[in-house]
Amino acid sequence: MNQPVRTIGRGAAAGAAVLAVLSLQPAPASATAPEPVVGGTRVAEGQYPFMVHLSQGCGGSLYAKDIVLTAAHCVTGSGANTSITATAGSVDLQGPNAVHIKSTQVVQAPGYDGKGKDWALIKLASPFELPTLPTVTDTAYDKGTFTIAGWGSTSEDGAQQRYLRQATVPYVADAQCGQAYGTQFHAEDEICAGDVDKGGVDTCQGDSGGPMFRKDDQGAWIQVGIVSFGQGCAEKGYPGVYSQVSALSADIRAAAATLN
């Protein structure tokens, strides 16, 4: 969501103060590098056709042609819901190829209380004629380098984006992620990724609910994570935290079967 509801330990005022201090320093060499998501590049039209933008200011992926997988913290509860507009079919949210479809129903993860289980499904009034993004069913792909993408901010407290952006981030082990986040990190159903030593690349506000994905052994894209939360964005020492799809796939599949 636009509001950093799950950003930890940083109010808007504190963030602004930090930015003010940073702006007094000479621009680092990396300031000229492309920034996405934080630290990324523009996505080519059609490159990730399963990417969805949600009108409440979140991302998502096509779980089925008429079902969007997103984060639990991007929705307000379960039941009939015609208030969400899903946009897909273009990297440009305002472009001529963008297709907009309304929601009919939402399933928020049963038992969601802000501690893990950060997933939800949104049923659409009609299908997108676009490819879906398969989800992992075991931990075999919970490692390596992941792609992240979204229309969220390109810096902490930055603006939402009109054009889809992407970056790649390495897997971060549970032990290291736990050192950063303590009890806020739930190893049983969360997976972390980012450059812990240097920072600089991450998802950010507005990317929530979008997929973290990689290639499977056949070379096809497969979803491993759902953007959930982080300390600010791209901060050194604080990787992004993602819902671990491998731990949640059975629950997600059961919920999808109830949507009709």
Catalytic positions, written as ranges: 73, 118, 208
Q: Where in 71-110 is the site for ligand ARG (CB under 6 A)?
A: none
149 binds ligand ARG (CB under 6 A): no
152 binds ligand ARG (CB under 6 A): yes
Shortest reach from residue 127's CB to ligand ARG, in Å: 26
How many whole angstroms separate alpha carbon 227 and alpha carbon 193? 10
Q: Specify the residue for token string 């991302």.
A: 59
Q: How many CB atoms lie within 10 A of CB 21?
A: 9
Residue with the shortest CB distance to ligand ARG: 230
Shortest reach from residue 174's CB to ligand ARG, in Å: 16
How many whole angstroms separate alpha carbon 60 and alpha carbon 42? 18
- What stretch of H or E contains 223? strand 221-229
Shortest reach from residue 57's CB to ligand ARG, in Å: 7
Shortest reach from residue 89's CB to ligand ARG, in Å: 22
Question: What is the signed CA dihedral for 72, 78, 81, 86, rounded to 10 degrees?
Answer: 20
Show the tokens assigned to 125: 């009034």
Length of the chain: 260
Shortest reach from residue 152's CB to ligand ARG, in Å: 6
Q: Specify the residue for token string 């059975």.
A: 250
229 binds ligand ARG (CB under 6 A): yes
Q: Mark 166-185 with x for binding to ligand ARG (rule: CB under 6 A) and - for no binding.
A: --------------------
The interface region with ligand ARG, picked from 2-10, 87-95, 122-130, 160-168 by CB under 6 A, is: 2-10
In 146-168, which positions are buried (b, 16+ CB within 10 angstroms) versus exposed (e)?
bbbbbbbbbbbbbebbeebbbbb
Residue from 135, 240, 246, 255 that binds ligand ARG (CB under 6 A)?
Answer: 240
Kindly give, in sequence order, each residue whose CB lies less than 8 Å from that of residue 68, ignoring residues fewer than 6 positions away: 52, 54, 60, 61, 62, 86, 121, 122, 124
70 binds ligand ARG (CB under 6 A): no
How many whole angstroms separate alpha carbon 208 and alpha carbon 28? 28
233 binds ligand ARG (CB under 6 A): yes
The interface region with ligand ARG, picked from 43-51, 104-112, 133-141, 223-231 by CB under 6 A, is: 223-231
Of the two residues 5 and 125, which places its CB atom closer to ligand ARG in the complex? Answer: 5
How many whole angstroms separate alpha carbon 229 and alpha carbon 108? 17
Q: Specify the residue for token string 């919920």.
A: 255
6 binds ligand ARG (CB under 6 A): yes
Shortest reach from residue 190's CB to ligand ARG, in Å: 12
Q: Where in 190-209 is the site for ligand ARG (CB under 6 A)?
A: 202-208
**Binding interface with ligand ARG (CB under 6 A):** 1, 4-6, 152, 202-208, 227, 229-230, 233, 240
